Amino acid sequence: MSINTDKVKIIFGLKIRQLRLDKKMSLSEVADRSNLSISYLNEIEKGKKYPKTEKIMALASAFEVDYDSLVSLKLNKQLEPIAELLNSNILTELPLEIFGIEPADFIELMSQAPAKISAFISTIIEISRNYDMRVEQFYFSVLRSYQEMHDNYFEDLEEAAQQFRKSFEISPTTSPNEKLLRNVLENFYQYRIEEFTLEQYPDLVNIRSIYDVKTNKLLINSTLSTEQKAFSYGREIGYQFLQLKNRPMISSVLEVESFEQVLNNFKASYFAGAILINKDILIGRLTYFFASPKWDSDMLLNIMRLFSVTPEVFMHRLSNVMTSHFKNKNLFFLRFNNQIDNQLFHLTKEMHLTKLHTPHGTALNEHYCRRWLSLTILKDLENNQKQIGYNPEEVLCKAQISEYIDTENNYLVICLAKPSPPNKSINSSITLGFAIDDNLKSTVNFLGDNALIHRKVNETCERCGVENCVERMVPPTILMKRKARQKTKEAIARIIS
């Protein structure tokens, strides 16, 4: 069912159902008064049928209302949020089919409890306004859910990457580099590729690439590393090879027109990672790495350097094979940015395949625990830069066993930190955290390495009750409010009993 074309049916059905409920009438009573069948009335209320004029008049008579009020597209105040939802393009953009939901089913849900759904929609709208949530952020939240549902592994994209390698005769043991991928774009897909400098476009310091579909020209930021350029070319090949027409034209998604753009950008990026890092080679190396009784950061970095990729692409790819081959699905992925000489840490990417969700980014305006390896490694990198000098190729690699206070949640946390060119004042950390369960214990032999740092951590300072914490940024305000509410409840319970 098309939501746009059937909006009139939906609104009419909602009004009929609401009238019937307001007048405390059953479907059989309305059927008797209007001389319409119960099944037909049911179809109307679900937004599947729109009656002819004489039947609308019969319904108006049954409900003792005028004809014009029934056919008007205006809904009462109780249902206004649903009207706002229907008049927006959000339902056409929501990938309901991804989650196995037909638009008709969604409308039926709304029709069954319109007042409650209206209140819910109003709340969501109000929350998004209060936190200045853009539609792009909503789309990315949906994308994360999509990744989590599929354990961040997509066999169709893996097969497409292997098909590309075979078509262009790329050896399974070879990681295609920047020059090879650029050659494919220029000679096979007829791209015109030009590099731009920050002197030419100083406002594009954070933009890696711009694609002009009319001229088939790709502008690449000249300050990018060879690994960043390789990924940019690989993603462009992904758009072409997968025939993804609806796509963003710049590397950083400032504004998107639809969820399809966000999804296609993810598919092309996943494809790029898959052609740059052959999963069979990665699995073989990781198997040897995990078999070691000692944590070895150099060994992991050497695996990454087999491929022409950034640490972020490498860690994303690692998450793919951890779920597909090593069957470890209790993991999370985090990316933090931190400006030099600044104590603010910005969580710019996250994904949770585990249901525990202990380290998450939903705690708005709170201070993440400064014991997280994701944050401490950024300050370690900053100290190196101040002592030794800035090196855009520098990568730190560390691991930690994080034991969450007041819970049984323990994670093996592996983290890479690097500068984030072209912006020299920003460093980034990429983190993969694995819940320490029987599966991980059987996979990772170095969990018992005494050299691994063990730290007790929490979510945010505002929620943490640890006393005399030298890393604390602010008092545990949320925890104190929670305890005060609990004491109030207990006092009331004693009075009532």
pLDDT of residue 362: 46
Same domain as 94, residue 43: yes
Q: Do 42 and 31 form a contact (C-beta atoms < 8 A)?
A: no
Beta strands in 81-138 (DSSP E): none
CATH of the domain at 186: 1.10.10
The secondary structure element, H or E, covering residue 337 is strand 331-339
My answer on whether 182 and 67 are in the same domain is no
Number of Cβ within a 10 Å radius of residue 240: 16
Element (H, E) at 414: strand 410-420
Same domain for 334 and 432: yes
- Are residues 129 and 51 located together in one domain of the fold? yes
Which pLDDT score is estimated for 6?
A: 63
Distance CA(393)–CA(417), nearest Å, equals 11
Calculate the average pLDDT of the chain.
85
Of 42-56, 188-202, 331-345, 438-452, the poorest mean pLDDT is in 42-56
Q: Is the pLDDT of residue 336 over 80?
A: yes
Q: 480 pLDDT band (50/70/90 cuts)?
A: confident
Select the more confidently predicted residue: 33 or 129: 33
pLDDT the model gives residue 363:
46
pLDDT at position 58: 92
The amino acid at residue 429 is S
Task: Give the residue ranges of DSSP H helices in 202-296.
Answer: 226-241, 259-276, 279-291
pLDDT single digits (tens) 218-264: 999 998 999 999 999 999 999 999 999 989 888 876 667 777 888 89
Residue 322 · residue 434 · CB < 8 Å: yes
Residue 436 lies in a domain: yes
Q: How many domains does the chain have?
A: 3
Residues 315 and 249 in one domain: no
Q: Are residues 61 and 121 in the same domain?
A: yes
User: How far apart, in whole angstroms, are the C-alpha atoms of residue 20 and residue 63?
Assistant: 8
Q: Judge if 127 and 157 occupy the same domain.
A: no
CA pair distance 208, 251, nearest whole angstrom: 6
Point out the domain boundary residue: 99, 133, 167.
133
Tell me how far apart the alpha carbons of residues 462 and 365 are, in angstroms, rounded to a whole number: 10
- The reply to whether 270 and 377 lie within a common domain is no
Nearest Cα neighbor of 414 from 427, 404, 403, 400 is 400
153 — pLDDT class (breaks 50, 70, 90)? very high
Determine the distance from the C-alpha atom of residue 401 to the mean position of all C-alpha atoms in its chain, rounded to a whole number.
Answer: 25
- Half-sphere exposure at residue 80, Cβ-oriented, CA atoms within 13 angstroms: 6
**Residue 368: DSSP 8-state:** B
Q: Is residue 303 part of a domain?
A: no
Mean pLDDT of 472-478: 86
Q: Which band of pLDDT confidence, cut at 50, 70 and 90, is reported for residue 62?
A: very high
Of 115 and 324, which is predicted with more confidence? 324
Same domain, 223 and 367: no
- 238 and 361 share a domain? no
Last residue of a domain, one of 254, 276, 298: 276
Confidence (pTM): 0.76
Owning domain of residue 414: 309-482
